[in-house]
Structure 1
Amino acid sequence: MAVVMDPSSSAEDTPPKHWLDRIGIPRALAWGFLGVLVFMIGDGVEAGYLSPYLMDQGVSRERVALLFGVYGVTASVAAWCSGALSDLWGPRRVMLLGLGVWGVFQVVFLAFAVPTGGYWPLLVSYGLRGFGYPLFAYGFLVWVTAVTPRRRLGSAVGWFWFAFTGGLPTLGSLVASLAVPRIGAYGTLWLALGLVLAGGLIALLLVREPLGARRLAPAGERPVATLLGSLAIVWRNPRIGTGAVVRAINTAPQFGFLVFLPVFFTETLGFTLSEWLQLLSAMFATNIFFNLVFGVVGDRIGWQRTVAWCGGVGCAATTLLLYYGTRWGGDDYALAMVLVGLFGATLAGYVPLSALMPSLDPAHKGQAMSALNLGAGASAFLGPALVGVFLGPLGVQGVMWIFAGLYLASAVMTLFLRLPEPVAAGAPGYSSPPGPASRARNESPEA
């Protein structure tokens, strides 16, 4: 598919004047990044203690696991729908829907399900609440990709992931650690609702950028075609399908690690549980910082190169270092801190994928982001499934090699994610510029 060169895109050559634009945050969306951060802090408050809290209320371990499993499924579906619905309704309405869903079902969960202790009310209210945060957060991500000049898109999505992961689980867990001793576990869940509402209102009331209020799909495309297109694009545009697979590989080992690394670090290597939790926090903290770094790096050396080398090859190397380095060092805390930090850093090498994917099909950015989010949701199941199948026969060492192999495979697949070549005005194949939502921004480090 040829990309039409929009004459207005020459504005990208103009150096950004405002300091927000210079650091990679689109000035028109600046309040949205803050809103996402506050929203995700509220969403992440429960991450570290909801499971034991529910078990203390008499819910069995198996039922808690099912509760979280249903939540994961609904969140994955919402992640996929966020892009398609943004194409259909515009990102602002999708974010409003996500905020409403989160708020309504959190109230039902806290005011009715938790006090009565009935499992079905817990399952239904908490499960349906899972639709909330992906619609809000990923709806804003689509908005970012729709309005940010391509030359600075890598930096912009880096700031998005900084806000997202800064809230969930990092600052959300910190808020919980301070609030639970003072107002109790139940009161902290109400505090989470207040934070989510505050973040949502910051983004929706203070961001005035007009494109987010309009549908992003091409004029005349029917709603059913838009929704089905968010799946069909995976095989209609093979590069989008390949990118979705790369996104699934990106965080599959991360979710898999949470299944077996706690036992490996505490029982095999000899770390205390407190030390392991500190190491895990360090991994995420490093990842947050490098989300920004690799967003900027992607804009400088190319999104594709950054994902392939810093993400794919980098994660393959640091995954093996994480295993063999800790086996050699045993319970050497300083060495382990360095190794988990290296993995967290290279994991951020995939950040430019959020800029690369919508640029592969500029006329259907929402559908491309749906495919990306579908890969993200699949990773939550892929990683633990691989651990469940291979940990027994192959052990920790074998699983680490499987994960390293997947990362190398993702690096090879990324080489096929070439951006379409721009077509100059007047050249064969040129057509009149499309509407703002589907314009292809052609100034790219990949060119």
Structure 2
Amino acid sequence: MNAMNNSAGNGGASMNPPASPIIWGMPVALFWGYVAVALYMTGDGIEVAFLSKYVTGIGFSARQAGLLFTVYGATAAVASWLSGVLAEVYGPRRIMAIGTLWWVVCHVAFLSGGVMRHDFVLMLVFYGLRGFAYPLFFYAFFFWIVQRTPDHRLASAIGWVWSMFTIGYGIIASFLPSFTIPAIGFLPTLWMSLAWVGCGGLLAFLAIRDDAPAAIDSHEGRSLRHQLTEISRGLTLIVHNRDIALALVTRIICNLSLFGFPVVMPLFYTSAEGGFTMPQWLRIYGIFFLVQPFTNVMWGIVGDRIGWLRQMRWVGFVGCGIATLAFYYLPHAAPGNMVVAIFAALLFALTITSFVPMGAIFPMLAPEHKGAAVSVQNLGGGLANFAGPALATVLVAGYGTQGVVVTFASLYFLGAVLTCFIRLVQPRGVHAMDVASSAKAQAVRDGLDISHSDPSPTPAE
């Protein structure tokens, strides 16, 4: 089923306009939205690398600093679950605007009412409330992509948005404070993030020329009861759709090491056993992020060609299980060897980004409720954000870093097995290389898919 033939919801939603033209896997009409994501997520992530140090530096405990991030993660997880279906019910442009305004108001309150007054209660309240904002912006745009991209190119389009996320949140937001803090200080750097988020929000609101998927606009859609039904559908899908439930488990597993390793690996790498200094560790982990914008796009394009589940099973779960072990055992065998450690980091980045098609799989498993399906996918991401650090914290006390690594790797191998039980029919379509010749281009114009002997959707396996 093609995305452009699906309505924004079920039951009376407006028909979507035709899917946007695709260049290198990216919907052309949404180009400025991708740029907006990079700007917005830069502002959202600027404080991540130094906020805990700053908070302890102004008189609060490390435990209080950790509590800030814990509450923020909890609210972000809830908003991640709600955002997709809210975008389906009310329209993604509106939800992205709300996410921008919410972020700005809460960040101003966090800094002026909490940080500048050294009032931890207000800091906790407003930083926690700010956690609702970025998922509303990011995942509403994610839903917009799902609605505007032909199904057989969806992984490619999603690969691009994760690349923009990584460029903003993982790269610019990590390196920028290293220049601004020495120049202007911690607090002005925190205020500076307002400009990045504001520019991202304005760009998304003003520059995207594509019409957003229509909100549910029938009489039934306008009723509060129907809106609440759509919003709660994300949870009911887990109960009633076996494949969605299995996909949710695999979604949680796929990012365990991504979120869990920062708890234990800095300690291991900078210990006598690991043999690295803190600057060396930061460079190793920085290289891990630097390659992801490229590998995200690459795996999106490759997954559209070779099969989403096949790629995730072998490169993702099996590959990431091996990379997880290598990220610990290779430096353990060669302490202080940067070449070995960088190789392990690159292997880790190459395999963990192969999960890009995960975002395409969920809406294909419930095509009548794409917004709810995207919300379940987002919920899985939020739960991984909790489960990774929680498992690492519990296991490292009794079994050390090795126990954490072996457990994560075992769960990845379990995830590979689970993918064998997910029933997915991946849409197939004509690829860019297929339209190079005029004959094939004419076939496309005539509505024929000559890249397969059977024009009907084919299984991903």
Q: TM-score, normalised by structure 2?
A: 0.86
Check 1:384–1:6 CA distance in 2 against 1; reply closer, same or farther (3 A cut).
closer
Structure 2 contact 4–149 (Cα < 8 Å) conserved: no
CA RMSD of aligned residues (A): 2.4
**Does residue 292 of structure 1 match 2:294?**
no
User: Which structure ranks higher in relative contact order (CA pairs < 8 Å, sequence separation ≥ 6)?
Assistant: 1
1:181-216 Cα shifts (integer Å, max 9, x gaps): 222111111110110000111111111322434349
My pick for the range that moved more, 150-159 or 208-217, is 208-217
Structure 2 contact 20–149 (Cα < 8 Å) conserved: no
Report what 1:373 is aligned to: 378
Helix, strand or coil at the partner of 1:419: coil
1:295-323 Cα shifts (integer Å, max 9, x gaps): 01111101111111111111011111222
Q: What displacement does 1:392 show?
A: 2.9
My pick for the range that moved more, 27-36 or 171-180, is 171-180
- The letter of the residue matching 1:390 is L
**Does residue 67 of structure 1 match 2:68?**
yes
Report what 1:427 is aligned to: none
Q: What displacement does 1:396 show?
A: 2.0
Alignment gaps of 5+ in structure 1: 9-15, 423-440
**Does residue 256 of structure 1 match 2:256?**
no
**Does residue 327 of structure 1 match 2:325?**
no
Q: What displacement does 1:4 show?
A: 8.8
Report what 1:228 is aligned to: 232
Alignment gaps of 5+ in structure 2: 7-18, 428-454
1:211-255 Cα shifts (integer Å, max 9, x gaps): 434349996581111121111111111111111111111111221
Check 1:150–1:348 CA distance in 2 against 1; reply closer, same or farther (3 A cut).
same
Report what 1:430 is aligned to: none
Structure 1 contact 287–345 (Cα < 8 Å) conserved: yes
Report what 2:99 is aligned to: 98
- The letter of the residue matching 1:309 is W
- The letter of the residue matching 1:150 is D
My pick for the range that moved more, 243-252 or 385-394, is 385-394
Aligned residues: 419
**Does residue 209 of structure 1 match 2:210?**
yes
Check 1:421–1:134 CA distance in 2 against 1; reply closer, same or farther (3 A cut).
closer
Helix, strand or coil at the partner of 2:209: coil
1:136-166 Cα shifts (integer Å, max 9, x gaps): 0011001101110012111100001000111
Cα distance in structure 1, aligned partners of 2:333 and 2:59:
43
**Does residue 395 of structure 1 match 2:400?**
yes
Report what 1:435 is aligned to: none
Cα distance in structure 2, aligned partners of 1:205 and 1:216:
23
Structure 1 contact 87–366 (Cα < 8 Å) conserved: yes
Q: TM-score, normalised by structure 1?
A: 0.89
- The letter of the residue matching 1:22 is I
Q: What displacement does 1:394 show?
A: 2.4
- The letter of the residue matching 2:396 is L
Cα distance in structure 2, aligned partners of 1:237 and 1:271:
47
My pick for the range that moved more, 273-282 or 394-403, is 394-403
Cα distance in structure 2, aligned partners of 1:312 and 1:61:
34
Cα distance in structure 1, aligned partners of 2:139 and 2:411:
25
Cα distance in structure 1, aligned partners of 2:293 and 2:387:
23
Check 1:202–1:246 CA distance in 2 against 1; reply closer, same or farther (3 A cut).
same
Structure 2 contact 425–457 (Cα < 8 Å) conserved: no
Report what 2:432 is aligned to: none
Cα distance in structure 1, aligned partners of 2:176 and 2:127:
21
Q: What displacement does 1:179 show?
A: 1.5
Cα distance in structure 2, aligned partners of 1:188 and 1:17:
38
Sequence identity of aligned pairs in percent?
40
- The letter of the residue matching 1:160 is V
Cα distance in structure 2, aligned partners of 1:42 and 1:35:
11
Report what 1:419 is aligned to: 424
Structure 1 contact 79–374 (Cα < 8 Å) conserved: yes
Check 1:37–1:6 CA distance in 2 against 1; reply closer, same or farther (3 A cut).
closer
Q: What displacement does 1:443 show?
A: 5.2
Cα distance in structure 2, aligned partners of 1:17 and 1:68:
38
Helix, strand or coil at the partner of 2:116: helix
Cα distance in structure 2, aligned partners of 1:108 and 1:444:
52
Cα distance in structure 2, aligned partners of 1:415 and 1:96:
40
Report what 2:445 is aligned to: none
Report what 2:323 is aligned to: 318
- The letter of the residue matching 1:164 is F
Report what 1:116 is aligned to: 117
Helix, strand or coil at the partner of 1:330: coil
Check 1:258–1:321 CA distance in 2 against 1; reply closer, same or farther (3 A cut).
same
Q: What displacement does 1:275 show?
A: 0.4
